[in-house]
Each structure stands twice: as structure tokens, then as C-alpha cells.
Chain A
Amino acid sequence: MNYTDEFRDPVAARGVLAAIARVVDEIGATKEKPLHIMEICGGHTHAIFRYGLDKLTPPGLEFIHGPGCPVCVLPMSRIDECVDIAERPGVIMTTFGDAMRVPGRRKSMMQAKADGADIRMVYSPLDALELARRHPDKEVVFFGLGFETTTPSTALTILQAHADQQTNFSIFCNHITVPPPIKALLDDPFMVLDGFVGPGHVSMVIGIRPYDFIARDYRKPIVVAGFEPLDLLQSVLMVMEQIRDGRAEVENQYSRVVPDDGNPVSIAACHEVYQPRPTFEWRGLGEIDASGLRIRDKYAAFDAEVKFGIGYGTGPRFTGEQDGCRCGDVMTGRIKPHACPQFGKGCTPEMPLGALMVSSEGACAAYHQYGGFQLEVAE
């Protein structure tokens, strides 16, 4: 199958692919000595596999799959704490569906629900707030999860709950931010990264300036990209051209959706409601400074950590993985998904052992779904 036939504009796609091949040649990158480009966002990882972009681009270019999949980097201890809250009497736990199957040390939310906890999947935190209105005798907790794209939604929901004086609603906050782990990866001597493709919808909220440090301090290019396959290819080409020309800049390929300064209403709401935690744990990456958000004291009435006495880092923490699971090594690019002994055996999308197999944005799930394993073996 020729992947480009599926593109909206196959002619344009072939043109960009030819340009990428030319620039890779000009740089002198080869299969033996490839350029490493990290696509930060899990949505981009999914699109790369779905459209076979890793197969269409020359061997001198290797995609490294970044940490931008919120359920993939969620530490097991936070699932344990969430299940702990959900199993208390009088609690309705609400969550996005993505988080239901993430394994905890004791059980996933799916298992907790099967065991009798009142856990409900919702599409939006607004639905959780509505449930609180309809169940004044219950405490409705929303499992707040995600990067800057979803952070404003819980911030605005808290502001609405505050305005409504809703007393039986709280958020178990696990929101995280993109720039700190990128800095951590750039500081990791093991990681060799030549450039980045940045998540478009994160920048729709925060703009592109929070990435200035990547170009200024680390002299690496980053291009904020859309999700259409042609967007991704154009962004990769822009990164390559920067490398060839010896430039390191923050560029915006997705300007039709992403204003350079982001969305002021979202930024203001997040600043009003959240403050950075000193550190937050990322599955596979460990504790990263100022990478997680907590709810400000002003809104403590809506903070499930305060309401249930589960502060971050106060309980015993288990930072390992399930037996044989190597999500951490995949996350940091030390091994490819199929090199994990559990891949496709003890760990499948239906019965995930590790978080990277749970979400369609996880590298292991993408490998499993689109046969990256067979393709590489066949090569």
C-alpha cells in the first residue's frame, strides 16, 4: 500500500517528502547516523503511525516518541490514590474514559468500578459538576488529567463551581505541563535529540513563547505543528531546514489555529486557579521540577487532595512498574516498544500491563495497532 494515496493532497505530500529527503541528504544524515526528531505529542505519535510517516520519510530521520500522552505518564501512585478516594462511601468518582484502564498497583479504576465503587465516565468536567448538582447528598470528584489543552477546562469548571457555591464538588488534580519534561529530556545525557515537533493544541492555549528556552538555551529547533499528515510533514521539513541552516528557532506551522500568544482567557483562568507543584512524578521519567499543577489555597474547597487528606507526596510512593513492564525504558527512548518482553503477550490494548498500551496515543498501543513490530521485522 502506498500511504500517500490516503493523503488529502497526495501531490503536495510527495513534494514535501521529496524536500525532506533532499534536506536530510544535504545535512548528511544516514540510517547509521540519523537525526533524532521528537514529536512531543501523543496525538502526533498516533498520526505518524496511522499514516506511516515513519516509513515514508528517509532512514536518516528517526522519530523519537515524546512524553505527550497524559495517561501514559500518569504515575501508578496517583491511580492508587484515585481508587482510594473512589472507594470511600458517598463518593462519585468521574473521569475521562482514557484513564479507566490505566493500571494502578492495587487495581485500575475499571476494576474498582467492577468491585462496586461508583466511578463514571464523563465527556467533560462540566458533566461532573452537573452530577454534583443532581446528587447533593454525594461528593462528586473529577479526576483532572491532561496537559495545557485540558487544564483550562477544569480551571473554568472550578470557577463555575465557585460562582455557584457548589459544596459537594472537587477535582483530583493531575494536570501537567509540557515544557518542564522537555527540559528534563534535554538535560538527560542519554537523550540525543536534534529537534522537536511541538503539540499544536497545547500551543493553542499557551502560545509558542514557552518554548523559547529550547532554541535559546539548548540551540535546538522546534516547530509547533497541526495534526493533519501534511502539517506534520511540513513541520518536519521546517525542523530539517533549521538544522541544515544552523538555525535554532521556535516556529509556528499551525498558525491557522495557534496564535503566537495563545488564548488569554485560558491562560488567565489557569493562573487564577492553579500554581506549580515543587515537583511531580512522571511515569518513566521520575520527579520533574515544576511540571505538575495544584489547586491554589483560594480554591481549596474544590481540591480533592485537601478534602480527602491525600496531599501529593504525603503517602508512601511506589515508583516502579508492574512485573516485566518496561514502559519507562520506552518512554525515554532506550528501547522500542516491541523490545519489551511483555509486548503483545502479557500486555495488549485489551489487557494493558503498562500505561503506554492503554491510550491510542501511547507508543506501545500505536506499534501494536499499526504493526510497527511486523514492519520492522520485515525490513
Chain B
Amino acid sequence: MCLGIPGRIVEIADAARKLAIVEVMGVRRQVNVACIMKDEPLESLIGTWSLIHVGFAMSRIDEREAALTLDVLRQLGEAQEEIEAMRATERMMMGAVQ
């Protein structure tokens, strides 16, 4: 939970709510990007890597740092847990629509 996971911002989802879509190990997920915004258009975040903690982009990192961190998280088993938590939540929310 505290370690988070690196993800790459691929799309802006809701500019008013500062929400973007990140891709984390092939899984897409909506995250809040308020903590990594600077004085620039939100679109400029696209392509940026960030550490994602429980749905919030917390710190910009470069691609090398992202790869390094992902390696460690995989070895600790934390990456798999994060991805599973994202997927399980998505399944639960799909159920909640009906």
C-alpha cells in the first residue's frame, strides 16, 4: 500500500477533477494528478511517468527509475498485489453499476 507503483499517464480523463488515465503494467486506471501538476496545461502530463499511490500520482519519475522500481516491486510481490487490487476494484464497480 505504501510502496505504490510506477505508471505512465496516457490520457486526460476529467480536467476539472484533475483526473487522468495511467497505464500500469498494461492495466489502465483513473488517477488524480493534482500532486504532480505544475503551471502548464494538463495535457503536457501525457507520457509522464509517476509513482502512483492508491489512485494518486505523487511524484514524477523518469523512465529508468520507473523500470527499476517495477523490478523491485515484482520481486517483492507488491506489483502483482497492486495490479490485482486495481482489477478487483474494477470488477466490483462493474457489479455496482447493475
Q: Which residues of B come within 8 Å of A, CB atoms?
A: 1-4, 17, 29-32, 34-35, 37, 51, 53-56, 58-59, 61, 65, 68-69, 71-72, 75-78, 81-82, 85-86, 88-89, 92-93, 96-97
Contacts and interface: CB of A to CB of B under 8 A. Distances in A.
A135 interface: yes
A152 interface: yes
Given A125-B54, A150-B54, A156 B32 contact: yes
Interface residues of A, number: 50
Contacts of A319: none
Nearest to B67: A8
Nearest to A122: B89
Interface stretch (A15-23, A197-205, A340-348): A197-205
Given A127-B55, A257-B61, A149 B2 contact: yes
Contacts of B51: 201, 204, 257
B85 A257 contact: no
Contact of A8 (B2, B68, B89): B68
Tell me which of B17, B59, B61 has the highest count of chain A C-beta atoms within 10 A of its own C-beta.
B59
A131 B3 contact: no
Interface string A188-202: 000000000001011
Contact of A127 (B65, B71, B75, B93): B93
B2 A153 contact: no
Nearest to A121: B88
28 contacts: A8-B71, A41-B2, A46-B78, A47-B76, A96-B1, A97-B85, A97-B88, A120-B92, A123-B54, A124-B31, A125-B54, A125-B55, A127-B89, A131-B96, A147-B2, A149-B2, A149-B4, A152-B56, A153-B32, A153-B54, A201-B2, A204-B51, A205-B58, A228-B69, A256-B61, A257-B59, A360-B77, A361-B2
A126 B32 contact: yes
Given A50-B75, A123-B54, A153-B54, A257 B2 contact: no
Contacts of B53: 149-150, 153, 201
B59 A204 contact: yes
A201 B85 contact: no
Interface in A165-223: 199, 201-202, 204-205
Nearest to A147: B2
Given A134-B97, A153-B53, A229-B72, A123 B65 contact: no
A277 B59 CA distance: 28
A284 interface: no
A140 B31 CA distance: 20
Counting chain A CB atoms within 10 Å of each CB, the highest count among B51, B56, B61 belongs to B56
Contact of B55 (A41, A124, A199, A202): A124
Contacts of A70: 1-2
Contacts of A263: 35, 58-59
Nearest to A130: B93
Nearest to B60: A257
